[in-house]
A and B are shown apart, each in its own frame.
Chain A
Amino acid sequence: MSVRVGKAAGAPAFPSAARKLVQNSQLRQNLRRATDTIRGKRNKVVQEMPDWQELRDAAHAIKEHTVRHLDFYLERFEANCARAGGHVHWARDADEANAIIVGIFKDHGYSEVIKVKTMTSDETQLNAALLAAGIRPHETDLAEVIVQLGDDEPSHVVCPSLHRNRSEVRQIFLEKMNLSELSEAPEDLAAASRSYLREKFLRIGAGFSGANFAIADTGSVCVVESEGNGRMCLTLPNLLVTMLGVEKLIPSFDDLEVFLQLLPRSATGERMNPYNSIWTGVAPGDGPQEFHVVLLDNNRTGVMADAEARQTLDCIRCGACLNSCPVFRQTGGHAYGSSYSGPIGAILTPQLQSLEHSRSLPYASSLCGACYEVCPVKINIPEILIHLRAKLVEDGYPPLAERAGMKAAAVAFADGERLAAAHKLARLCQWPFEHDGQLENLPGMLGGWTAFRDLPALPRQSFREWWAERQGGRA
Chain B
Amino acid sequence: MSAAKDEILARIRRAVGSRPPGRAAEYQAIPRRYRQAGSLDRAALLDLFEERLRAYGAGVYRALPADLPATIASAAGARGKSRLLVPAGVPAEWLPETLEFAPVESADYAALDASQGALTACSGAIAATGSILLTHGAAEGRRAVTLVPDYHLCVVRAEQIVETVPEAFRRVHAVDASLLTTIAGPSATADIELTRVQGVHGPRTLDVVIVE
Contacts and interface: CB of A to CB of B under 8 A. Distances in A.
19 contacts: A51-B33, A54-B35, A58-B31, A62-B30, A65-B27, A68-B26, A69-B26, A142-B189, A186-B193, A190-B189, A226-B187, A226-B200, A251-B27, A253-B173, A268-B190, A272-B129, A274-B185, A279-B178, A297-B11
Contact of B188 (A169, A198, A226): A226
Interface stretch (A127-135, A257-265, A343-351, A394-402): A257-265
Interface string A22-45: 000000001001110110000000
A465 interface: no
Nearest to A146: B191
A244 interface: no
Contacts of B66: none
B43 interface: no
Interface in A77-134: 84, 89-92, 96
A286 B179 contact: yes
A256 B166 CA distance: 9
A13 interface: no
Nearest to B195: A186
Nearest to A257: B166
A65 B26 contact: yes
B158 interface: no
Interface in A226-273: 226-229, 231-232, 234-236, 246, 251-254, 256-258, 260-261, 268, 270-273
Interface of A: 30, 33-35, 37-38, 50-51, 54-55, 57-58, 61-62, 65, 67-72, 74-75, 84, 89-92, 96, 140-143, 146, 159, 161-162, 164-166, 169, 186-187, 189-191, 193-194, 197-198, 201-202, 218, 220, 226-229, 231-232, 234-236, 246, 251-254, 256-258, 260-261, 268, 270-280, 283, 285-287, 295, 297, 301-302, 304-305
Contacts of A70: 12, 16
B194 interface: yes
Given A71-B9, A232-B201, A251-B27, A142 B193 contact: no
A112 B31 CA distance: 46
A305 B11 CA distance: 9
Given A271-B184, A279-B178, A142 B2 contact: no
B194 A162 contact: yes
Interface string B158-198: 00000001100110010001111111111111111111110
A231 B147 contact: yes
Interface stretch (B68-76, B77-85, B136-144): B136-144
B85 to A, nearest CB: 15
What is the size category of the interface that chain B forms with chain A? Answer: 35 or more
Nearest to B108: A202
Contacts of A232: 147, 201-202
Main secondary structure of the interface of A (DSSP, over half): helix
Contact of B181 (A197, A252, A276): A276
Contact of B178 (A89, A141, A218): A218
Contacts of A271: 52, 55, 128-130, 184
Interface in B1-50: 2, 4-5, 7-9, 11-16, 19, 23, 26-27, 30-35
Contact of B35 (A51, A143, A169): A51
B96 interface: no
A277 B185 contact: no
Contacts of B26: 65, 68-69
Given A74-B8, A218-B177, A258-B32, 4 more contacts: A34-B193, A61-B30, A257-B169, A260-B165
Contacts of B181: 231, 275-278
A253 B19 contact: no
Which among B52, B181, B187, B190 has the highest number of chain A CB atoms within 10 Å?
Answer: B190
A167 to B, nearest CB: 10
Given A194-B201, A228-B201, A55 B34 contact: yes
The 5 closest A-B pairs by CB, nearest first: A228-B202, A301-B11, A272-B129, A228-B201, A227-B200
Contacts of A65: 26-27, 30
Nearest to B1: A90
Contacts of A91: 4
A427 B112 CA distance: 81
A260 B191 CA distance: 20
Contacts of A246: 8, 12
B4 A72 contact: no
Interface in B80-117: 109-110, 113
